[in-house]
Amino acid sequence: MLPEQITEIAKVEIARRYPEMRGVEPVVEEKVAPKPILRKPGEAVPESELRKVYVLTFKKDLTAADGAIVRQVLRVTVDEQGRIVKAVVSR
């Protein structure tokens, strides 16, 4: 899948899960991460066990109940098939 397609798939899913992030254009980073395989701590990861992932960062300023502006940050890790592997949101 192309990075643009992966980004579009992720944006649709993020809009469904986090409606306040609908319409936010993410910053996309391409990274290499090891496949989730059990190994001993410090053991080298062979190149054949590496995979490409994309980290999408969504940022939006929201208004709190007291009128203060609060920046909410959502970081989503997506694999090459467009599946969300991890999502972390700030308070």
Mean pLDDT of successive 10-residue stretches along the chain, which has 91 residues = 88 93 94 72 72 93 92 94 92 76
Distance CA(28)–CA(15), nearest Å, equals 16
For the entire predicted model, the pTM comes to 0.79
Residue numbers of the domain that contains 64: 3-36+45-89
- Number of structural domains the chain divides into: 1
Q: Bridge-partner residues for 87, per DSSP? A: 76
Q: How far is CA 17 from the centre of its chain?
A: 13
Tokens, residue 18: 């986090």
